[in-house]
Amino acid sequence: MKLRLIAALAAVFLLAACTQAADTTTTVGGTPTTADGGVTTTADTGGTTAPAGETTTTGATEPGDGLLAEVQARGSVRCGINEAVPGFGFLEADGTRSGFDIDFCRAVAAAIFGDPEAVEFVPLTAQQRFTALQAGEIDVLIRNTTYTASRDGGEGATFLSTTFYDGQGMMVRADSGFTVMEDLANTAICVLSGTTTELNLATRFVDIPYEPLTFDENDVLQEAFVAGQCDGWTSDKSQLAGVRSAFPEGPDALVIMEETFSKEPLGPAVRDGDSQWAQIIDWVVNVTIIAEELGLESGNVDTFADTENLEIRRLLGLEIVSDEGTTIFDAGLGLEPGWPADVITAVGNYGEIFNRNVGPDTPLALERELNALWTEGGLIYAPPFR
């Protein structure tokens, strides 16, 4: 009986000692931390409490052993792209790449390395893209890809913030006489295989007889269209606008019908299973939107060093001074504080990216419409950076 009592008392004392150790707060480098490595934060300032004269970084995390660490060790990010859609992903005659999606690839590189050129572009067809993502041949897919339930759930992919709200349409020759979908009864329609476009076409034309001509690549599809093998070409309207802008016979030879018959939210996707990497890609997109909301542009980032706007100071990694001490905001993504400044300097804010590649003053001549900021009646919206 005495032995049992002694053992029980020993267990109680051991438990108390462990609990006390776990609750103990120590100071490392002037920053209060708990024994398990956590940081004591001050909610009012959004940062850690620092002794006078010292600056602390909030929420900092180590890169860990996930895809971020692999990309950093490699020295570049591998971005799966399209190279045949003007305005979005296009290989220019001089070998350079341009487009809306290309700029977001560069934005990711700028966030991680501070260098928008630290990116390896991997051209992929529609049928190759998810296989390449699943196999680890690319780190992120930014290639006019529609976010759907079956892709999010069945392709081993995690879809992130939508960068472009689109919809499917139909393009025909200007002299064809076709003005509405019903006019295309008993005609041949060109469509890329392995896409939501193919499925949407079948749904829209369920009561309209037609012959689908499927192709694996845009270039081959365009050759068939130019040769007169099909009467209509269906795809996302943004893609049709890009093709029309660079059509060999000139853009006036083609007309994009008014009707939009699907929802096509386009955006980046990453492989399932690495939440830190997914968060990084998500927040790269978000900071371009927040930058536009705050009036930050590629040409004026350096002019905000003395701003009193705390949102801007957090975003740009500038010191925030309060009665609690001096802090620099870190979102805890494993990147250097202030990385959004590198993104904005490299590619600009969301509006700059849109206007430079597909906006009213480009051959595509697209208006913002759904892709306007939420404050301007559009759907472009980002969570707060805090």
Terminal Cα-to-Cα distance of the chain (whole angstroms): 59
> What mean pLDDT do residues 347-373 have?
97
Minimum mean pLDDT among 11-25, 83-97, 201-215: which range?
11-25
Query: Each residue of 175-195: pLDDT tens digit?
Result: 999 999 999 999 999 999 988
Helices (H), 80-142: 100-113, 129-134
Q: In what order do the strands lie in the sheet with 254-256?
A: 210-215, 187-192, 232-236, 168-173, 254-256
pLDDT at res. 21: 40
- Alpha carbons within 13 A on the beta-carbon side of 186: 0
Give the alpha-carbon dihedral of 265, 266, 268, 274, to 10 degrees. Answer: 20
Q: Does the pLDDT of residue 9 top 50, yes or no?
A: no
Query: Each residue of 221-249: pLDDT tens digit?
Result: 999 999 999 999 999 999 999 999 989 99
pLDDT at res. 347: 98
> What mean pLDDT do residues 133-160 have?
96
pLDDT at res. 48: 43
Q: Please give the class, per CATH, of domain 67-164+266-376.
A: alpha beta
Split at pLDDT 50, 70, 90, the class of 58 is low
Q: Does the pLDDT of residue 39 top 80, yes or no?
A: no
Q: Does the pLDDT of residue 27 top 70, yes or no?
A: no
Split at pLDDT 50, 70, 90, the class of 366 is very high
pLDDT at res. 218: 85
Residues 160 and 147: their CA atoms lie apart, in Å, by 8
pLDDT at res. 194: 85
Residue 160, amino acid: L
pLDDT at res. 57: 62
> What mean pLDDT do residues 97-111 have?
98
Residue 247 class from Cβ within 10 Å (0-12 exposed, 13-18 middle, 19+ buried)?
middle
102, 110 contact by CB (below 8 A): no
Q: Where are the domains of the chain?
A: 2-57, 67-164+266-376, 168-262
Residue 77, amino acid: V
State the Rg of the chain over Cα. 26
Q: Do domains 67-164+266-376 and 168-262 have the same CATH topology?
A: yes
pLDDT at res. 62: 55
Residue 109, amino acid: A
For residue 320 the two structure tokens come to 């925030």
Please choose, from the candidates 74, 71, 103, 76, the residue with its C-alpha nearest in 3D space to the C-alpha of residue 87: 103
Assigned superfamily of 168-262: Periplasmic binding protein-like II (3.40.190.10)
* H or E element that contains 254: strand 254-256
> What mean pLDDT do residues 353-376 have?
97
